[in-house]
């Protein structure tokens, strides 16, 4: 073909080429969805008949994960503010309240229930630890 020559396909040719591919893809999707649905139904049936309390395990795990995330997010935000303080002031804050007075944080985020911040001014690291 010479440069600049454009090839156009008629809609009938496009349908003849694309239709078999679409049928195969739709069949694979249909088969894949059917297997997944039947597997989840058998799992649900087994859980309901055994009465193992797996929903309690799920909610317990979710609660534990939420507490871990709260600890990480709170300490990460405080440590980020400490890093900004160090970069601009050239030293570690004497205590966490100095982050608020110098406006690196609007307030110290409250730690999760039963936890507290442990700040080491020598290292400039804040951790969330049990009270």
Going residue by residue through the chain, which has 131 residues, state the pLDDT in tens, using 9 for 90 and above: 566 677 676 776 666 777 776 777 676 666 665 444 444 444 444 444 444 556 668 878 877 777 766 666 678 889 999 999 999 999 999 999 999 999 998 889 888 888 899 999 999 999 989 99
Neighbour-count burial of 128, counting CB atoms closer than 10 A to its CB (0-12 exposed, 13-18 middle, 19+ buried): buried
Whole-number pLDDT of residue 60 = 80
Query: What DSSP character marks residue 127?
Result: E
- The residue extents of the domains of the chain are 71-130
Whole-number pLDDT of residue 23 = 77
C-alpha distance across the termini of the chain, in Å? 79
Residues 110 and 104: their CA atoms lie apart, in Å, by 16
Whole-number pLDDT of residue 125 = 92
Cβ–Cβ under 8 Å, residues 115 and 131: yes
72-90 per-position pLDDT tens digit: 667 888 999 999 999 999 9
DSSP track, 56-124: HHHHHHHHHHHHHHHHHHHHHHHHHHHHHHHHHHSS--SSTHHHHHTTSSSSPPPPPTTEEEEEETTTT
Cβ–Cβ under 8 Å, residues 117 and 104: no
Strand partners, 117: 128
């Amino acid at each position: 073909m010479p440069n600049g020559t454009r090839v156009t396909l008629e809609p009938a040719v496009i349908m003849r080429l694309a239709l078999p591919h679409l049928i195969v893809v739709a069949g694979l999707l249909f088969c894949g969805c059917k297997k997944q649905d039947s597997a989840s139904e058998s799992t649900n049936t087994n859980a309901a008949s055994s009465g193992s309390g797996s929903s309690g395990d799920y909610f317990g795990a979710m609660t534990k994960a939420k507490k871990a995330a709260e600890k990480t997010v709170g300490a990460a935000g405080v440590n980020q503010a400490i890093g900004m303080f160090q970069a601009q002031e050239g030293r570690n804050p004497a205590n966490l309240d100095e982050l608020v007075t110098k406006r690196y944080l609007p307030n110290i985020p409250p730690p999760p229930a039963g936890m507290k911040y442990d700040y080491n001014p020598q290292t400039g690291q804040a951790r969330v630890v049990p009270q």
